[in-house]
Amino acid sequence: MPSLIEEKLRRYFIDKQKEVKFKDGLVIKTELAHTKEVAHVANCRSGRESAEFYAAGIALGELDRNNGLSILHGLRKLQVVDRDNHQYGGFRWYMEESKINDSNAAFFILKPLVTLRLLRPDRIPAEHVPLLDEMMLSALHWFAQECRHPILYYPNKIVSDGALLLAIAVITGVDEQYVSAMNFFVKWEDYTERRGWGWGENCSIVYLRVILEALQTACVVMEQDREQGELCNKLRERMRELMDYIRFHQGHEFVPTIRSYNFMGKPTVDNLIWLFSGARKITASEPIAMKEIRDIASVLLFAKELEVKAEYDAETGTDHLPIARTRIERIFDDSFAYTWIGACGRMGSINRFPVMPGCYQNTDWGLGWQSFPVSFGIASENIAYLRWYVSEGGRIRTHPAEDQHHGYLNSALFAGVWLPDVQLRSAQADNMLLCVRSIANLHHAAEEIADEWVLHQFGGEVEILDITDESGTRQWVVLKQDESCAAITALNGIMEEQYNRVCVPICVNHDKEMLRVRQVLYSGEEKTVFHPRLEAGWAVVLFDEPLEREPLLHYLSCVYIDDATVRDEEVPRASYMSKREIALYIEGNKKVELTVDPYDK
């Protein structure tokens, strides 16, 4: 008897397959392809979508065996089968590509096939098995090569490679590679225990799901081998940690998040991860819509977790979570994600971003364009997030990007091969935030450089308040909504025409599409901007209730921000490299403090 989730996916598959078009056995992708080689080619034949369609159709009993065989032949044509090729066993993502452009294609294509083989082998027609075996045996070489010197900092990729190496070694009976896979997981577990989650995909809804599917695959295999009980238990504990973090967010977009494609800042995102983690209830009466054929891997791997429950599981559910709560989640070494969640608002920040050197931006990849290291949400509004904005030659580049397609193809914030160093330092205490953002070693063309809070389709009210005390006048931009509000102010910064820190003015641009609260660090004629270090700084106070003007004025008049540049008597420093000590006080009580040392990389 199929589960409720499986039955819903089956019905969705039946409806969807009427729309799916094939060519040469492969699904035609209606959206633009993501790799640079074929980004301009319409209607590419995609390996990932084809493999997912095959696995779903076979597992659900809704795919004709001849059509299924045609898909497998198409997938085999995407694989490098020349044993003398150093990429032997890998896959192109699209038939239109001339080479492997995305090394993740192999695991994304084979994951649904391997999951099907492990968990629904009886559904696979006998005549399909030899072709599946051919692909998997070739792929063993690829995955073994990827895991021999693994890039441990890239968890969704490398854990998936390791899981498929392990599973395929068992399926095909290649003991040597089984041992290699186990050795890989020992190494990965040691790295994760010592240093954390690499560049931060434990803070990504999108890639947490990929990681969890890979770990579940590995555990399904290891549970068949008593000798691997200890290692399997360690991986299960990693999964429990991740599931607990997912439940903490209770079905909402993570704040902060690394590697997200939620550029509109939607407060909630559809993802099966909320269901199999226990963040959302699964009951017979709960409306659950299946919207992705690619959900098949999760549906098979987490069948038990996705069963309808007569009673809600309080232990793994979210009903016990306090309404106001905070969590500090380790990412890598001493980099952490801090999240505060209230009744109507939420705010999160990463204490340093990027969390490791070398990953922010390169000419053809990087995390800057797809990460939201500082963000907050008020009530049901979209998420507000900090974004770098650069215009040059009539072209606009932003971090995070404006959309996934253009961000993937143009991942750097500036043109050129040698790119500046972009950094964030932040400190947060509950609903109060301090952060400083910098661009160092700048020698790039621009006509405008700005740091800005972005909030799409903000339906509330914007009010600008000037609060005067003995230290002067501070301007606050207040975003007001019926249930909560946020107050934003600028810290000192460094603009293009100077080298000392000064008060940077805030400008507000607001239309029906977007609200932008900006600090403009350079604006003028297009030129090559030479500067050792530009800085923008922000303080935010999030109120978990609506405030009328007078109570708000009173509260903000009690806020004092000490933004000090510290003399260093021990090492030489130019003014722009001076250390900063910033603290936010309310009624004389220090609430949050941030130290920024430009020498600290």
Query: Sorting pLDDT into bands at 50, 70 and 90, what band is 217?
Result: very high
CATH fold of 4-301 reads Glycosyltransferase (1.50.10)
Nearest-Å Rg of the Cα atoms of the chain is 26
* Residue reference for tokens 């390169």: 362
Per-residue pLDDT at 291 = 80
SS (H, E, C) 472-533: EEEEEEEEECCCCEEEEEECEEECCCCCCCEECCCEEEECCCEEEEEEEEEEEEEEEEEEEE
Beta pairing partners, 446: 527
Angle of helix 155-172 relative to helix 129-148, nearest 10 degrees, comes to 130
Tens digit of each residue's pLDDT (9 = 90 or more) over 560-573: 999 999 999 999 99
- Interatomic CA distance for residues 536 and 582, integer angstroms: 13
Is pLDDT above 70 for 556?
yes
Please tell me which residue, 256 or 459, carries the higher pLDDT value.
Answer: 256
Q: What is the pLDDT of residue 508?
A: 97
Instruction: Compute the average pLDDT of residues 381-401.
Output: 96
Q: Quote the CA–CA distance of 241 and 235 in Å, as a whole number.
A: 10
Q: What pLDDT does 320 receive?
A: 75
453: left (phi over 0), alpha (psi -120 to 50) or beta: beta
Q: Residue 40 in 3-state DSSP?
A: coil
User: 547: burial class by Cβ within 10 Å (0-12, 13-18, 19+)?
Assistant: middle
Query: CA-to-CA distance for 177 and 580, rounded, in angstroms?
Result: 52
Q: What is the pLDDT of residue 226?
A: 86
Residue 471 scores a pLDDT above 80:
no
Q: What is the mean pLDDT of residues 132-151?
A: 98
Instruction: Please give the single-letter amino acid code of residue 532.
Output: P
Q: What is the mean pLDDT of residues 223-229?
A: 90
Q: In this structure, which amino acid lies at residue 239?
A: M
Mean pLDDT over residues 200-219, rounded?
98
Please, which pLDDT band fits residue 189 given cuts at 50, 70 and 90? Answer: very high
CA pair distance 35, 405, nearest whole angstrom: 9
State residue 546's pLDDT score.
Answer: 87
Q: What pLDDT score does 418 carry?
A: 94
The DSSP output letter for 277 is T
Cis peptide, bond prior to residue 400, ω within 30 of zero = yes
Could you tell me the pLDDT band of residue 317, with boundaries at 50, 70 and 90? low
- What's the one-letter identity of residue 301? L
Average pLDDT in the chain: 95
Q: Which of 571, 580, 581, 572 is nearest to 598 (CA)?
A: 580
In whole angstroms, give the CA distance from residue 559 to residue 541: 10
Confirm if 163 and 215 have CB atoms less than 8 A apart. yes
Q: Which of 169-183, 403-417, 521-535 has the lowest mean pLDDT?
A: 403-417
pLDDT-based confidence at residue 227 (cuts at 50, 70, 90): confident
Q: Is pLDDT at 292 greater than 70 in this prediction?
A: yes
Give the pLDDT band of residue 284 (cuts 50, 70, 90).
low
What is the spatial distance between Cα 274 and Cα 208, in angstroms, rounded to a whole number?
Answer: 11
pLDDT class of 4 with cuts at 50, 70, 90: confident
Say how many Å lie between the first and final Cα of the chain, rounded: 57
pLDDT higher than threshold 90 for residue 510:
yes
pLDDT reported for residue 310: 54
pLDDT tens digits, one per residue of 70-120: 999 999 999 999 999 999 999 999 999 999 999 999 999 999 999 999 999
Q: Which pLDDT band holds residue 380 (cuts at 50, 70, 90)?
A: confident
Q: What is the DSSP letter of 381?
A: S
Query: What pLDDT, in 10s, does the model give residues 327-351?
Result: 999 999 999 999 999 999 999 999 9
Stretch 390-409: mean pLDDT:
93
The closest of 394, 480, 497, 489 to 435, measured between CA atoms, is: 489
Beta bridge partners of 427: 434
CA–CA distance, 87 with 98 (Å, rounded to integer) = 13
User: Is the confidence at residue 492, as pLDDT, over 90?
Assistant: yes
Query: pLDDT-based confidence at 285, cuts 50/70/90?
Result: low
DSSP summary character for residue 383: P
Q: Domain segments of the chain: what residues?
A: 4-301, 325-596
- Residue 336: CB atoms within 10 A of its CB come to 19
DSSP H or E run through 278: none
Percent share of the chain, pLDDT over 70:
97
